A and B are shown apart, each in its own frame.
Chain A
Amino acid sequence: AQTVTQSQPEMSVQEAETVTLSCTYDTSESDYYLFWYKQPPSRQMILVIRQEAYKQQNATENRFSVNFQKAAKSFSLKISDSQLGDAAMYFCAYRSLDMNRDDKIIFGKGTRLHILP
């Protein structure tokens, strides 16, 4: 079974600085999707970025980018020029592309990010 591990329960970063959140996963599949979701204090989950495993190029969305290392099964999120609005819980998630598998996303336990003014 696939698992997603976020080893940093909490992190802090100074405003305008860069921070990297770590995520590792375990799977025997070769095709899958990876996601980072953000949960701000409002608690609504927001999709931040997605990465298809078959793409070697790392995904980027404005100040958010990922470092996808398929062989190492690592999927870290880098936030550049951190802003106060980035303070949230961040969840790493895995989704199989195997259509015979259950239609589920597997979430990590999350990393709470604090932005220091």
Chain B
Amino acid sequence: SQTIHQWPATLVQPVGSPLSLECTVEGTSNPNLYWYRQAAGRGLQLLFYSVGIGQISSEVPQNLSASRPQDRQFILSSKKLLLSDSGFYLCAWSPRLAYEQYFGPGTRLTVT
């Protein structure tokens, strides 16, 4: 069966520091991958999605970036964090020929 992992689970970082969140999927190949952010008590905001290695689509221009160095690995990065980057970050995957998305456990990021 397929599983999706995210780490770290919780992260506290000072303003201006770099960020790297990692997401990996097991048990499938060539998945579509997504990064979402959820502010406290609010809905999901799609940040990036990828349909293949090195193929990244950005939904929201900001100081975040994403990379897909391997088929089942999706990384969310920032060179300098802002206070407004605080939130709950969710990674999701979708089978190539399916329409639903499956989510990871998420990373709670607090920028201080």
Contact = CB atoms under 8 A, between A and B. Distances in A.
Interface stretch (A21-29, A41-49, A56-64, A72-80): A41-49
Contact count band on B: 20 to 34
A97 B99 CA distance: 8
A95 B43 contact: no
Interface residues of A, number: 21
A35 B90 contact: no
A95 B99 contact: yes
Contact of A95 (B49, B100, B103): B100
A58 to B, nearest CB: 17
B32 A103 contact: yes
B51 A103 contact: yes
Contacts of B88: 43
Interface string B96-110: 000111111110100
A107 B44 contact: yes
Interface string A95-117: 10100001111011110000000
Contacts of B99: 33, 50, 95, 97, 105
Q: Which of A37, A44, A45, A47 has the most chain B CB atoms inside 10 A of its CB?
A: A45
A91 interface: yes
B42 A103 contact: no
Interface string B31-61: 0100000100011101001010000010100
Nearest to B88: A43
Contacts of A95: 99-100
A103 B100 contact: no
Given A43-B38, A44-B105, A105-B100, 14 more contacts: A43-B105, A44-B103, A44-B106, A45-B90, A47-B100, A47-B102, A50-B99, A91-B43, A91-B44, A102-B49, A104-B46, A104-B59, A109-B43, A110-B43
Interface of B: 32, 38, 42-44, 46, 49, 51, 57, 59, 88, 90, 92, 94, 99-106, 108
